[in-house]
Chain A
């Protein structure tokens, strides 16, 4: 079955937006902005871990 555009690109676009946000927020601010950067840049890594490395039951 073929998928719609959003089925294929939903996650990649979300991860791209979060990465961009993370890269910029640490550059433009300190304190809370650094936390925001760490959190949003960690999301792609967590997603990769979830689908690839997480032990399967």
Chain B
């Protein structure tokens, strides 16, 4: 392809995605630090007790949750040992198929089965940032649209790499022509910042696009692996009484002894079948703690039905999450994420400025480059 064609690709893909990418970079900035921000606003913690205090049966925890919100169902239970030590988080809703947003979280002390807190649903600043970033309050279509913007961003980066060569033919790396026109200065800044952060921007952009496919990926997993594992139950009536939750989780722990429980999906909920508790186990290393492994436990007999590795497409999604969020290397990594995010804002802003400022100048430079190219050929 000629330089001119690459330039047109760069220009149009950038123009199409810049406004949305700017929005994503700005709303993403506070989201990088969501854990720290949530801690500032105060999180209820389990009171200090001797280290070896035994945990209550999860059946007791479930009972306490039902007492707290009579009439509601439990959809999930999950544990975040680092963020909320000794706390069981119970996600409840009016019905199993209520929208995800309609869920209520009840925090219960894992040792005493006492209710710690039932925080009101967050509808503040962080919620608005999160919704804008994920789907712009437009549900799945909004999410997929932003995924497409991520793809355009990747094309803009690749075409930008191709254009970097001719534009830098006479300049040393990092040259910023400050004394000449403002346009040249910002062109040089755009090129330097863009080329220095290109791998990060590509990775965060493309993993963001993969994350927008999460609902589709989960749907495929349910109709593929999950359906296979629960095939013998397909024609059985939906059970009305269940066996012990604690016994079910013990079954899962026995089946996958080298991992620990991350969350449990209750029968009839999004990540389970009508007949099973699905216990998702996670490992201890940064990678294995992301690659959840599900164990399906028959909710009536509390015996193991099946436990399999996730298929490649779910693994891809699960590994895309840390690479997009930057939450896998402590606070220093988050600070780096924020700085690179700010650099990307400058790249996007300067690109927009360059387009508005002097379209004619670019024409002239392209003609020069073309002549140069023709003369060499």
Contacts and interface: CB of A to CB of B under 8 A. Distances in A.
B169 A8 contact: yes
Interface stretch (B47-55, B138-146, B195-203, B244-252): B195-203
Specify the main secondary structure of chain B where it touches its partner.
Answer: helix
B168 A3 contact: yes
Given A20-B199, A26-B328, A44-B200, A51 B192 contact: yes
Contacts of A20: 199
A16 B198 contact: yes
Contacts of A48: 192-193, 196-197, 343
Contact of A1 (B168, B170, B189, B343): B170
B170 A52 contact: no
Interface string A23-46: 100111110001001100110110
Specify the main secondary structure of chain A where it touches its partner.
Answer: helix
Interface magnitude class on chain B: 35 or more
A29 B328 CA distance: 10
A24 to B, nearest CB: 9
Contact of A26 (B195, B200, B319, B329): B329
Interface residues of A, number: 31
Contacts of A11: 173-174
A45 B165 CA distance: 21
Nearest to A45: B339
A12 B332 CA distance: 23
Given A23-B203, A26-B328, A30-B286, A10 B196 contact: no
Contacts of B170: 1-3
B187 interface: no
Contacts of A3: 168-170
Given A11-B173, A50-B174, A26 B333 contact: yes
Smallest CB-CB A-B distances: 5 pairs: A51-B174, A26-B329, A19-B199, A11-B173, A44-B196
Interface of B: 164-165, 168-170, 172-176, 189, 192-193, 195-200, 203, 285-287, 319, 322-323, 328-330, 332-333, 336, 339-340, 343
